């Protein structure tokens, strides 16, 4: 796929666009009147179709070839946009989920611990907070772990 500028150039006059899309020029005028395709206009009021317009026209052609009328085409184009958006979001959520689960796997086999040399500072803090015995700091030995590579 060629890269395109944000505001794509509209290079094709109606006869060429019609040829590229495999339809009659008059059909393109009808589609425009119905709001299916909005080509740009030259200063002289001639239509100019972009590459994206051509793609859209081909998509419309594909659907009408299946006997779908223009009301249906409009709805289907919208639904397909929604669907591909939902699929993209799903893809992204699945990626994030996998990342989170991998991190969970890593983190749950290691610990965010306080080194023994800090024990006095911690005990002091705990004491001043007057915690019950269940909340007293406990001493553990952490098994060796591999570092987090974030």
Partner DNA sequence: TTGCTCCTCACGTCACGTGAGGTGGC
Applying CB under 7 A, the residues found at the interface with DNA are 13-16, 23-27, 29-31, 33-34, 43-47, 64, 67, 69-71
Give the closest residue to 118 by CA, choosing from 132, 142, 137.
Answer: 137
Q: What is the DSSP string of 6-51?
A: SS--EEE-HHHHHHHHTS-HHHHHHHHHTTS---EE-TTS-EEEEH
Q: Please, how many CA atoms are within 13 Å of residue 40, restricted to the half-sphere of its CB?
A: 13
Q: How far apart are CA 146 and CA 103, in angstroms?
A: 13
Residue 1 tokens read as 């796929």
Instruction: Please identify which residue in 68, 124, 127, 150 interacts with a second copy, judged by CB under 8 A.
Output: 68
Q: Which of positions 87-116 make contact with a second copy (CB under 8 A)? A: 87, 89-90, 93-94, 96-97, 100-101, 103-104, 107-116
- Provide, rounded to whole angstroms, the least separation between the CB of residue 38 and a second copy: 20
> Which residues of this chain interact with a second copy, rule CB under 8 A?
63, 66-69, 71-73, 75-76, 79-80, 82-83, 86-87, 89-90, 93-94, 96-97, 100-101, 103-104, 107-116, 118-119, 122-123, 126, 131, 134-144
């Amino acid at each position: 796929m060629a890269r395109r500028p944000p505001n794509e150039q509209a290079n094709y006059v109606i006869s060429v666009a019609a040829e590229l899309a495999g339809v009659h020029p008059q059909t393109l005028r009808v589609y425009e009147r119905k709001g299916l395709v909005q080509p740009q206009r030259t200063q002289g009021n001639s239509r100019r179709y972009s590459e994206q317009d051509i793609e859209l026209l081909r998509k419309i052609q594909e659907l009408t070839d299946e006997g779908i009328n223009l009301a249906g085409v409009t709805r289907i184009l919208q639904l397909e946009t929604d669907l591909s958006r939902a699929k993209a979001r799903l893809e992204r959520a699945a990626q994030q989920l996998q990342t989170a689960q991998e991190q969970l796997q890593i983190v749950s086999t290691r610990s965010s611990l306080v080194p023994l040399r800090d024990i006095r500072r911690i005990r002091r803090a705990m004491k001043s907070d007057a915690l019950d015995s269940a909340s007293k700091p406990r001493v553990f030995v952490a098994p060796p772990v591999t570092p987090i590579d974030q």
